[in-house]
Structure 1
Amino acid sequence: MPYMHGVYTTEIPTSVTPPVQATAGLPVVFGTAPVNLATEPAPVNKPVLCYTYEEAVKQFGYSDDWQKYTLCEFIKSHFALFNVAPVVLVNILDPATHKKSVAAESVTLVDDQATLANDGVLKDTVVVKSQDGATTYVANTDYTIAFDDAGRAVISRLATGAIAAGATLTVNYDHLDPSMVTSSDIIGGVDATTGAYEGLELLNQVFPLFRLVPGMVLAPGWSHDPAVAAVMVAKASNINGHFKCIALTDVSTSEVKKYTDVPNWKETNTYTSPRQAVCWPKVKLSDEVFYLSTQLAGVICRTDAENDDVPYASPSNKTLQANGAVLADGTEITLGPDQAAYLNGQGIITALNFIGGWKAWGNRTGAYPAITDPKDAFLPVRRMFDWIANSLILMFWQKVDYPISRRLVDTVVDSANIWLNGLAARGFILGGRVEFIQDENPTTDLMDGIIRLHVYVTPPSPAREIDFIVEYDPQYLKSLFAA
């Protein structure tokens, strides 16, 4: 040690660790997109973080044909109707493989333009020839290609080019075929050749890419497939080996057309996870029809935003952007409060138009009624448990591999308790504390570098039932004789 003479200072780590909160409701959405319409196409099977409608459309394109392009439904609902952000979008439709070829389609120019028959045209594959096929015309010299409002490719003749006015042309091209995308593509996995992640496996890439913890996983248009829903729940239950979130899933409105049949479908197809919201039916706004899971995500994100991104409030009895509920075939569904309560009692979230317009209605996870533990049966309580756990991981990851000492234990316990006390003071939880309990930390575990801290926490349950007891009180008859 060097010889020292004077006054010196040193620093030690702060005894209280500042809180780091997990993103409560970040949606990660899997589906198909009209990438041929994108000006800056996002890679296939790559999570993309979007904060605005413009960002999303620029990278994924947009089409009103939501049956073919399921991500567009979510883009419209989340950004345009609920005005919440951000969202992570993952396009599974691969223009290299999910496509069909058209040979020698004949079109005739009218007012110097002709529209191709198929949507999803891949612009770079278009070859325009003369009617007899003898002459191949040059793009941007003889003609241009643009997309109209319906997403159709329009060939426009250039007056300075070689194409005659009113000519009949022969066109070869490839176009997207979303029908080739299957549930297996959404489920994905790991490519055996390249090792690349695909489909729902990409949920594990969201935090490493963006440092944001997923709050919800969705696949509108696909989550009514039991195989897809099962993998959604499995992935939501174990993200990167540490984090957890919920899966928003739908019941098939093609198969289930009566509300009384929904519980049996739910149980038969095992939509029964504590980390699963089960939605039925669809909802509509004018002529646009949405999966209920899509709009429920918007309700959840807006509700969280109103509470400083703390997911303690239920999305139930919050306004949907809808003016009707429908089945897949367009049949309108109108439930009364008693019918909606029946679905809620079976762990199903629905849409109710009773007081205050159309509202999301239901607090229960898919685990109810088989499981009644509040942390697993109530959606907001389940979300709070996951959010608190995710936040503790983020907060104390920096302490991993520190020497186990009393100072380390005190720092973690004190920091966590200060944070929980703050949540309680703001009404986000009824109370909470962290303890380091000797019986839960045997000597052999401490020797092996393992410490356990016991978190006690009580998020508020939603007031699903408010009862008034009304009694006739004859004592008030005396008021008739009052002076």
Structure 2
Amino acid sequence: MADISYHHGTRLSESNETPVLVQVAQTAVVGLLGTAPDADPVKFPLNTPVLLKGTPTDAVGIGDTGTLKDAIDDVFDQVGAYTIVIRVEEGVDLAATMSNLVGDATARTGVHALLKSEPMLGIKPRLIAAPGFTSGDGVTANPVVAELVGVLDALRAVAFVDGPDTDDATAILYRQQINSQRVYVVDPKVLVWDTATSTNVARPASARFAGVQARVDKKLGFWHSLSNKAINGITGVSRPVTYGAHSNYLNENQVNTVINTGEGYITWGNRGATDDDLWVFLAVRRTADFINEAIEKAYFEFVDKPFSAANVKLMIESGNAAMRTFIAEGAIIGGRVWLDQDLNEPIALASGRITLSLDFEPPAPMEDIRFIAHRNIEYYLELTKAALQAAA
């Protein structure tokens, strides 16, 4: 009931009928899994997400042994991204360590500890790597990667995994053991200068690729591909891949790589480990993830409000306002939100259920740019005309 008590003057109240703000979550968040036997157990407890806020000093206490120190360096060479570190116990051998990384879903250890990030830290990792533990021989699937796929789906994240670093054929066989739009295979390893031995050493490239994607997210936007971007901090690759037929052969088979076109080493490849042509581009998968999630979170505002024409109208307007913003930014080519009456029968609405429809299209990377070159002998006429004018 309106307030009709006596008042002499003006009054103002704010309407709740304003479009909700649809915001995309932090996208440039790296998640690293690995070992660090000498780490400070208080700062870096086992199977517990720890947030590094983008500076190398955050990693003080990680120790010099294991894989995490190098992986953190690989990321921070690219960009000072938020990085969530999960340390697992180093086993008596590689197989035991791999088991620790596979972890336990119930106890949320190993790769499942990634799912503890959001409730514990308020953010979740979107660019995952476990360098040193995601490779394989192309004969059987890597157990860490196999276990990680379900976690990626739950997080709406992607993982960068390392190929076998032997030859092209084995790298492709390795990729064929994986079927996920969220897994991006990288082969070969990269060379990094080791100050302890004063030599170049081969290191898995996955953490550097995760760092490159984080840098792209920060500088360009999450809808941009990480391909054709500079890789900082490397001196070479363990197995050279030449631009052209060689790199095409790998990329066509969803193996991404590193090339040098004469201006330094760059990432090369757009494709996830799937044969689904509509979802093969990693940038498309990620763009859909972030927009879907942003819409879902924003519409919590409407949950449990009463059915009314005003509320339904506001829901549609809020979604379309968000789509216009995404289009203006370049994150999508087009998109809209609407109410399909065929999906909203009275019995469903009376049961408290309303279904909004939306569509949008992320921009695919322009992977194949073609030219058709023609000869034009009419230019000789221009040449002779110019010569005659000069002689006059």
TM-score normalised by length of structure 1: 0.72
Does the Cα contact within 8 Å between 1:217 and 1:232 map onto a contact in 2? no
Secondary structure at the aligned position of 1:301 is classed as helix
The one-letter code matched in structure 1 to 2:219 is E
The one-letter code matched in structure 2 to 1:403 is P
Secondary structure at the aligned position of 1:289 is classed as strand
Does the Cα contact within 8 Å between 2:287 and 2:331 map onto a contact in 1? no
The one-letter code matched in structure 1 to 2:69 is C
Does the Cα contact within 8 Å between 1:220 and 1:250 map onto a contact in 2? yes
Does the Cα contact within 8 Å between 2:89 and 2:97 map onto a contact in 1? no
The one-letter code matched in structure 2 to 1:265 is Y
1:260 to 169, 172, 181: 169
**1:82-120 superposed Cα distances (whole Å, 9 cap, x missing partner):** 1321011101127xxx5xxxxxxxxxxxxxxxxxxxxxx
Say if 2:301 is the partner of 1:298. Answer: no
Show the 5 A alignment for 1:203-352: 203-224=114-135, 226-239=142-155, 244-253=156-165, 257-267=166-176, 269=177, 271-286=178-193, 287-307=200-220, 310-321=221-232, 322-326=234-238, 332-352=239-259
Deviation at 1:46, TM superposition (A): 0.7
Match of 1:23 in 2: 26
The one-letter code matched in structure 1 to 2:68 is L
Does the Cα contact within 8 Å between 1:31 and 1:91 map onto a contact in 2? yes
Q: 1:237 to 1:469 in 2, by over 3 A?
A: same
Show the 5 A alignment for 1:296-445: 296-307=209-220, 310-321=221-232, 322-326=234-238, 332-367=239-274, 370-373=275-278, 376-445=279-348
Q: 1:366 to 1:31 in 2, by over 3 A?
A: same
Deviation at 1:401, TM superposition (A): 2.3
The answer for unaligned runs of 5 or more in structure 2 is 137-141, 194-199
Show the 5 A alignment for 1:92-131: 92-93=88-89
Deviation at 1:297, TM superposition (A): 0.4
Match of 1:53 in 2: 56
Match of 1:133 in 2: none
The one-letter code matched in structure 2 to 1:409 is V
The one-letter code matched in structure 1 to 2:48 is K
The one-letter code matched in structure 2 to 1:207 is E
The one-letter code matched in structure 1 to 2:43 is P
Deviation at 1:245, TM superposition (A): 1.5
Does the Cα contact within 8 Å between 2:190 and 2:205 map onto a contact in 1? yes
**1:299-343 superposed Cα distances (whole Å, 9 cap, x missing partner):** 100011102xx31111000011223111xxxxx333332111111
CA distance in 2, matches of 1:198, 1:457: 36
The one-letter code matched in structure 2 to 1:19 is V
CA distance in 1, matches of 2:377, 2:249: 37
CA distance in 1, matches of 2:95, 2:38: 15
Does the Cα contact within 8 Å between 1:348 and 1:364 map onto a contact in 2? yes
CA distance in 1, matches of 2:95, 2:157: 30
Deviation at 1:39, TM superposition (A): 8.6
| More strand by percentage | 1
CA distance in 1, matches of 2:378, 2:144: 63
Say if 2:77 is the partner of 1:74. Answer: no
Say if 2:113 is the partner of 1:202. Answer: yes
The one-letter code matched in structure 1 to 2:236 is G
Deviation at 1:408, TM superposition (A): 2.6
**1:175-216 superposed Cα distances (whole Å, 9 cap, x missing partner):** xx675842221111146xxxx421112222111122223312
Deviation at 1:407, TM superposition (A): 2.5
Deviation at 1:418, TM superposition (A): 1.3
**1:122-181 superposed Cα distances (whole Å, 9 cap, x missing partner):** xxxxxxxxxxxxxxxxxxxxxxxxxxxxxxxxxxxxxxxxxxxxxxxxxxxxxxx67584
CA distance in 2, matches of 1:89, 1:3: 55
The one-letter code matched in structure 1 to 2:215 is R
Say if 2:5 is the partner of 1:5. Answer: yes
Does the Cα contact within 8 Å between 1:32 and 1:178 map onto a contact in 2? no
1:185 to 78, 96, 100: 100
The answer for unaligned runs of 5 or more in structure 1 is 99-176, 327-331
Q: Which of the pair has more CA radius of gyration?
A: 1
Secondary structure at the aligned position of 1:474 is classed as coil
The one-letter code matched in structure 2 to 1:301 is A
Secondary structure at the aligned position of 2:277 is classed as coil
CA distance in 1, matches of 2:13, 2:327: 36
CA distance in 2, matches of 1:449, 1:386: 27
Does the Cα contact within 8 Å between 1:44 and 1:92 map onto a contact in 2? yes
2:86 to 66, 87, 90: 90
TM-score normalised by length of structure 2: 0.87
Does the Cα contact within 8 Å between 2:164 and 2:170 map onto a contact in 1? no
Match of 1:144 in 2: none
> Equivalent pairs: percent with the same residue?
27
CA distance in 2, matches of 1:190, 1:481: 79
**1:407-454 superposed Cα distances (whole Å, 9 cap, x missing partner):** 332222212211221121122222211112112333443233222222
The one-letter code matched in structure 2 to 1:284 is L
Say if 2:384 is the partner of 1:481. Answer: yes
Match of 1:447 in 2: 350
Alignment RMSD, CA only?
A: 2.3
Secondary structure at the aligned position of 1:31 is classed as strand
Secondary structure at the aligned position of 1:237 is classed as helix
